[in-house]
Amino acid sequence: MVEILSLAGANLLSPMVLCFVLGAVAAAIRSDLEIPEAIAKGLAIYLMLAIGMKGGLALAKSGADNVLAAFMAALALSFSLPLLAYGALRALRAVGPVDAAAVAAHYGSVSVVTFVTAVEFIGARGAAYDGVLVAMLAAMETPAIVTGLLLARRAIGATMPQVPVRRAKLLREVLVNGSIVVLVGGFVIGWAAGPVGMKKVEPFVVDIFNGMLCLFLLDMGLVAVRQLRSARELSPRLIAFALTLPLANGAIGVAAAQLLGFGVGSTTLLATLCASASYIAVPAAMRLALPQARPAIYVTLSLGVTFPFNIAVGIPLYFAVAERLAR
Amino acid sequence: MDVHRRKKIEIVVESGMLAEVVDWLVGHGVRGYTTIPKVSGFGRQGRRATDEPSGVFENTLVIAIAPEPVARQILAESVERLRDYAAIVYLSDVEVARPDHF
Contact A99, A298 (CB under 8 A): yes
- Give the model confidence (pLDDT) of A158-199 as tens digits: 455 544 556 677 777 777 888 889 999 999 999 999 999 999
User: Mutation test of the interface with chain B: which of A287, A297, A300, A307, choosing the one with the most B Cβ atoms within 10 A?
Assistant: A287
Set of chain B residues whose Cβ sits within 8 Å of the Cβ of A295: 56-57
How far off is chain A from B29, nearest CA to CA, in Å? 19
Q: Is A203 exposed, middle or buried (0-12, 13-18, 19+ CB in 10 A)?
A: exposed
CB-based contact (8 Å) between B49 and chain A? yes
Helices A132-139 and A37-62: crossing angle, nearest 10°? 130
Set of chain A residues whose Cβ sits within 8 Å of the Cβ of B15: none
Inter-chain residue contact B47 with A34, CB threshold 8 Å: no
What chain A residue is nearest to B24 in terms of C-alpha separation?
A: A163
Q: What is the mean pLDDT of residues A232-260?
A: 95
A43-47, A88-92, A157-161, A199-203: which range is least confident on average? A157-161
pLDDT at position A162: 45
pLDDT at position A165: 59
For residue B46, give the nearest of A40, A162, A232 by CB distance: A232
pLDDT at position A159: 52
Containing B58, the helix (H) or strand (E) segment is none
Size of interface A-B (CB pairs under 8 A): 60
Set of chain A residues whose Cβ sits within 8 Å of the Cβ of B21: none
Inter-chain residue contact B51 with A37, CB threshold 8 Å: yes
User: Mutation test of the interface with chain A: which of B18, B47, B51, B54, choosing the one with the most A Cβ atoms within 10 A?
Assistant: B54
pLDDT grade for A314, boundaries at 50, 70 and 90:
very high
What chain B residue is nearest to A228 in terms of C-alpha separation?
A: B52
pLDDT grade for A155, boundaries at 50, 70 and 90:
confident
Set of chain B residues whose Cβ sits within 8 Å of the Cβ of A288: 16-17
What chain B residue is nearest to A287 in terms of C-alpha separation?
A: B56
CB-based contact (8 Å) between B68 and chain A? no
pLDDT at position A166: 65
- Give the model confidence (pLDDT) of B39-98 as tens digits: 999 988 888 888 888 889 999 999 999 999 999 999 999 999 999 899 999 999 999 999
Set of chain A residues whose Cβ sits within 8 Å of the Cβ of B49: 230
SS3 of residue B102 by DSSP? coil
pLDDT at position A127: 93
Task: Kindly report the pTM of this predicted structure.
Answer: 0.92
pLDDT at position A145: 94
Contact A274, A78 (CB under 8 A): no
Q: CB-based contacts of A30: which residues, under 8 Å, 6+ apart?
A: none
Measured in whole angstroms, how far is the alpha carbon of residue A6 from the centre of its chain?
Answer: 24
Set of chain A residues whose Cβ sits within 8 Å of the Cβ of B41: none
